[in-house]
Structure 1
Amino acid sequence: MMKLNKKMIASFILTLSLVTTTSAFANTNTTSIKNDEPTSYRINKLKETAMYYYWNGGDLKKAEAEIFKGITLKGKYDVVENAFAEAIHLDPFDNDLKFSLASTQIIQKKVPEALETYKGILNLDPNNFNANLLYGAYSKTNGDQKTYDSQIAKLKKLDEKKANDYIAKIASADSYMKTTLNKDVPKGLPQKDHAIVILGYALADDGTMREPLIGRLEAGLTLAKQYPNSTIIVSGGVPKNGVTEADAMSKWLIEKGVDKNRIILENKATDTVENALFSISIMEREGLKDMTLVSSASHMRRGLTVFKEASDHYAKLMGKEADRKFTNMVFLDYKSLEEAHQVPNEEKMVIYRDLLRTSGIWAYPGLQR
């Protein structure tokens, strides 16, 4: 029997994790849903429509005319929300549909509505761990510490070890909200087994880079010049005009004189959660220990939170101590560092959302992480 080493395990896990839902919905289009079709078909069509609009957007007027008659749609997430609401109407027993509806409400910053949706799940299934956790976490970001404490007490009764694990994860996120953001190159970084991870940003439709991504690259280049032994991971996989963020970033760095052998492309991630999961997997494969994350100041607290969570997961998977050290360098997308260090409630909500997604709780169960 072949013996698997840590690099082989990490490579295998990464291969599995790169399967995304986009291809499943790539050719989906809105079509009229008829009442003389099986219920399961109608529900699946609504889920496909929701995920198509989640990824691609589309013709709102067509969606209004063919599926959501009498409803005025204001954007693609309106389509997603109404598709799941209609699916719940068809099957009010399916809690996964309700989780998906609540996640869409969170994306739209409709926190009170999402909390009501989670409450509905709990009315039907009071011992649902994820619903109790999400209801508590989003209550906390909404300024309701009392409800959060109450939900934590319930979680401890359901599964004390798991509850304590999530208490620690949320405490870690809270600590990263107090992170000092480094506009200048950090001093004293490791000279060995160190990674510089530069996070991507959505490209223009023609595949060219926009200002936030160029700003991140300039920060990363400055860092790379001062730490020439560090490996550079460029992370971002959403293609525009046949070019991924990682492709564009790598090309830019090479044109600026960086040795291409220093650069590893992570070109599968579609969002921050996948940036973290896929980049940490690469670090495990390459034997890289500590890392400096490079991103926009407005994105850094969330980035550090999810990278820490992904790193802890892989440490557990590999059966080793979670001792990776994280530092940061930011592209300042605020008027000042003082302003950058303020953390509004909306940012807290997004940090918690992505922390919980990185921990394995899918926003859209069975459909989309």
Structure 2
Amino acid sequence: MKKMHYYLLLMIAMLVLGGCTEMNQTKTSDTTINTSEQTEQSIASATAEEQTEDGFSTLENNNPTQERIDYLLDKAMYYYWHGGDLKENEREVFAGLTLKGDQEVREELLKQVIRLDPVTTDYRRSLASTKVINNKLDEAVAIFKSVVEQEPENYQALVQYYVYAGLLEGSFDETVYKKMETLNKAQTEKFKDGFERIEAVRKQEVPTAIKEYEENHLFILLGYALDDEGQMQETLINRLEHALKLLEKNPTAKIIVTGGVPKKENTEAKLMHQWLIENGIDEKRIIQEALATDTIENALFSIDLANELDFSNKITVISSASHVRRGKVLFETADRIINGQLHPQGKPKYEIDIIGEPDNEELIKTSTEQERLVLYRDLLRIEGIWQYPNLQR
């Protein structure tokens, strides 16, 4: 009897415990659901993101300041590479230069960054650089001047002010140059050499004639942006046809084809390589440089690649006549940087000349003020003064 009573009490206890467990499980489950919903709502509230057509998400003002700045800068760089219609500006202002983005949109994005942080001068310099590209030189100079007034020891801003004010006014300020020498004499000497080379190449007519070179010559062919379908545009095909004639005339010569902006799984270098092979050039004579995204990287990466090749140490840069003067200045500078600075007791290794595909009769004979502006701008960039500090050379 006692044993039956014991078992009965045990069964009742188990039933009670089971009911409590079920209630606890239900409570736990309900709590989990509520917590999950609250978490999703918190995340949605915290991020407050809304997808836009360009693939970015908009951030509300309750995001931390640096997050909003980074977002705006990222979007500005997106427009640098993927922006809208610049063909008119490209044709009329920068002949031979492939512009990378919607400048007006980028100006507005950078203005928003400056509203958030009006103290950091790198952002103002970025805005000024955009105005240079957008042919608003007077506005750019005013911004560079304000940066120099705020930071008199900012060497890079001082160089930018010296160059762009000089181009705007038609003469360079000797007082500003002496200040540059005081801050960094060695680098200022390099700039002086570059400025002199710019003015010298501007006085020269661009050679276009097909001719024979010494044995084992090296040609470097500069690419041009592919179209939206990842195919070569007329400008690049014209350059290739000129290069083909040179290679046929010089059967021992090699050629580096340089250009690495990807479009539809193609690069300029890849398509140039294919085109030359299809037109009878031995594949062993062609070297691809498929990383460069602009003329500065064409120069830096191609000179570095040339150091690995066996050739006569004489290089001819091939491009459109409207573009190739810039090629000469940048390739000579890249040679000095890579072979004259980065190696102990180094010095420039190569004799560099140019040949232009005759795309523009006017620019074959004379250099315009627009070309002069781009020559100076890109010299600053290759010497380490980035258009968009810490973002884009």
* Band the TM-score falls in, shorter-chain normalisation: 0.7 to 0.9
Cα drift, residue 126 of structure 1: 0.7
Q: How does 1:1-369 map to 2 (within 5 A)?
A: 29-57=55-83, 76-147=102-173, 149-187=174-212, 189-192=213-216, 194-288=217-311, 289-316=313-340, 317-319=342-344, 320-334=346-360, 336=361, 339-369=363-393
The answer on whether the counterparts of 2:163 and 2:172 sit within 8 Å (CA) in structure 1 is: no
**In structure 1, C-alpha distance between the alignment counterparts of 2:154 and 2:214, rounded to whole Å:** 44
Q: TM-score, normalised by structure 1?
A: 0.83
CA 1:57–1:146 in 2, change beyond 3 Å: closer, same or farther? Answer: closer
Cα drift, residue 146 of structure 1: 4.2
Q: CA RMSD in A?
A: 1.9
Q: Aligned to 1:118, what secondary structure does the other structure show? A: helix
The answer on whether the counterparts of 1:219 and 1:329 sit within 8 Å (CA) in structure 2 is: no
The one-character-per-residue Cα deviations of 1:224-283 (angstroms, maximum 9, x if unpaired) are 112222211001111222111111111110011100011000111111111111111101
Cα drift, residue 106 of structure 1: 1.0
The one-character-per-residue Cα deviations of 1:35-75 (angstroms, maximum 9, x if unpaired) are 2221111111110111111111269xxxxxxxxxxxxxxx8
The one-character-per-residue Cα deviations of 1:183-212 (angstroms, maximum 9, x if unpaired) are 11245x3313x3100111111222222211
Q: Aligned to 1:142, what secondary structure does the other structure show? A: helix
Cα drift, residue 82 of structure 1: 1.2
- What is the percentage of aligned positions where both structures have the same residue? 38
Structure 1 residue runs without a partner (length 5+): 1-26, 60-74
Number of matched pairs = 323
Q: TM-score, normalised by structure 2?
A: 0.78
Larger-gyration structure (1/2):
2
The answer on whether the counterparts of 1:181 and 1:328 sit within 8 Å (CA) in structure 2 is: yes
Cα drift, residue 287 of structure 1: 4.5
**In structure 2, C-alpha distance between the alignment counterparts of 1:263 and 1:364, rounded to whole Å:** 34
CA 1:341–1:321 in 2, change beyond 3 Å: closer, same or farther? Answer: same
Structure 2 residue runs without a partner (length 5+): 1-52, 86-100
Cα drift, residue 285 of structure 1: 2.2
- The more displaced of 246-255 and 200-209 is 200-209
Amino acid at match of 2:353: T
Cα drift, residue 303 of structure 1: 1.0
Amino acid at match of 1:85: K
**In structure 1, C-alpha distance between the alignment counterparts of 2:76 and 2:172, rounded to whole Å:** 34
**In structure 2, C-alpha distance between the alignment counterparts of 1:361 and 1:28, rounded to whole Å:** 29
**In structure 1, C-alpha distance between the alignment counterparts of 2:383 and 2:172, rounded to whole Å:** 24
